[in-house]
Amino acid sequence: MPNFTASAPGKIILFGEHAVVYGQPAIAVPVTQVQARATVAPGIGLPQGEIQISAPEIALDSPLHALPLDHAIKQAVDLTLTALGIQRPTAFKLKITSSIPLAAGLGSGAAVSVAIARAVSAFFGRPLADEQVNAIAYEIEKIHHGTPSGIDNTVITYAQPVYFIKGQPIEAFEIGIPFTIVIGDTGIASPTSIAVGDVRRAWEQDSTSYDALFAACGEIARNARTAIEQGEIGALGPWMNENHAVLQKMGVSSPELDRLVEAARAAGAAGAKLSGGGRGGNMIALAREVDPDRIANALLDAGARNVVVTQVGNKQ
């Protein structure tokens, strides 16, 4: 059997994070500059039926059966084999590499799951359909993030901009005019599950206020979708700023995120906000009528660990 490689992009949420967990719409786009990659090779030299996993970036080199049951890579392999109805697979080697920063709001976990499901199923000659790949990645998100909306696995599986409402069929939408986003990483690893759990507790204590904040995010996402479809990019900046203000009220920003957001605006960004779970991880800025490198440099000066400039269009 030959080797099979599959890759999946990172993602950013443009509008609607957190509120999307509570049924509001959100908008997410793939970031193709960063990728997770899975390669499956025949298990030459391995004991019969052994699956050897290596992921150099996290210093992992282990047989699958020796990994803890809740290990995300183990789960991705097991769920894929179950979906294929394979109980006793022939031996194989699975290597995972990724340029997507971990726990930074760029969807690294979902991208690794998607790449594994695609590479393993292709290796066995039965590539899974996107819906199945998406379902596997969602299962793993649920195990690790508690109550995920499913937006990460969806945008990463389909690798196209999505207008996402939890539990509803995926809605792709047109990008009227491509636009440029600068992504700044605080360098602070912030597990999404913690921020999502904190928001849930706060909502349980004060559902009236939090429902209003979620509704405000939903309204912003709806308006932003219309602006994006109609190519009214100028309108997006203020929506980003407003979305960031609502996320601050939700308690998911941080001094580091606020500092990068301010630095981007001062450098001429049309708008800026945190993106994803918050607390740490990434923020995004809209570069319009300004050189994106100017914003990128301002973010680095303000302490960003890493910056990525990405173009948002229908096909990246």
| Beta bridge partner(s), residue 40 | 4, 94
Residues 6+ apart with CB under 8 A from 223: 235, 239
Q: At what angle do helices 192-205 and 130-145 cross, to 10 degrees?
A: 70
| Tokens encoding 134 | 């998406």
Identify the residue whose tokens are 């499956």: 40
Which CB sits closer to ligand PMV, 52 or 192?
A: 192
Is there a catalytic annotation at residue 152? yes
In the complex, what is the shortest distance from the CB of residue 21 to ligand PMV, in angstroms, rounded to a whole number? 5
Is residue 213 a contact residue for ligand PMV (CB under 6 A)?
no
Which CB sits closer to ligand PMV, 132 or 192?
A: 192
User: Which listed residue (70, 78, 130, 152) is catalytic?
Assistant: 152
Footprint of ligand PMV on residues 134-163 (CB under 6 A)? Answer: 145, 148-149, 151-152
Region of 16-24, 90-98, 205-213, 220-228 interacting with ligand PMV (CB under 6 A) = 16-24
Is residue 105 a contact residue for ligand PMV (CB under 6 A)?
yes
Q: Which of 25, 218, 271, 277 binds ligand PMV (CB under 6 A)?
A: 277
**Alpha helices by DSSP H, the chain:** 72-84, 108-123, 130-145, 151-158, 192-205, 207-229, 236-250, 255-266, 292-301
DSSP state of 234: G
Q: Which of 6, 8, 14, 21 binds ligand PMV (CB under 6 A)?
A: 21
Is residue 276 a contact residue for ligand PMV (CB under 6 A)?
yes
In the complex, what is the shortest distance from the CB of residue 86 to ligand PMV, in angstroms, rounded to a whole number? 30
How many residues form the binding site for ligand PMV (CB under 6 A)? 17
Which CB sits closer to ligand PMV, 53 or 196?
A: 196
| Tokens encoding 187 | 């360098």
Is residue 243 a contact residue for ligand PMV (CB under 6 A)?
no
Count of beta carbons in the 10 Å neighbourhood of residue 205: 9
In the complex, what is the shortest distance from the CB of residue 190 to ligand PMV, in angstroms, rounded to a whole number? 8
Region of 18-26, 215-223, 283-291, 293-301 interacting with ligand PMV (CB under 6 A) = 18-26
Burial of 59: CB neighbours in 10 Å, binned 0-12, 13-18, 19+: exposed
Is residue 257 a contact residue for ligand PMV (CB under 6 A)?
no
The three-state secondary structure class of 63 is strand
Contact 10, 111 (CB under 8 A): yes
In the complex, what is the shortest distance from the CB of residue 135 to ligand PMV, in angstroms, rounded to a whole number? 15
Which phi and psi (to 5°) does residue 34 adopt? -115, 140
Q: Which of 24, 75, 192, 310 binds ligand PMV (CB under 6 A)?
A: 192
| Tokens encoding 5 | 């490689």
In whole angstroms, what is the distance from residue 262 CA to residue 278 CA? 16
In the complex, what is the shortest distance from the CB of residue 295 to ligand PMV, in angstroms, rounded to a whole number? 20
Q: Which residues would be at the binding site for ligand PMV (CB under 6 A)?
A: 13, 17-18, 20-21, 105, 107, 145, 148-149, 151-152, 192, 196, 276-277, 281
Catalytic center residues: 152
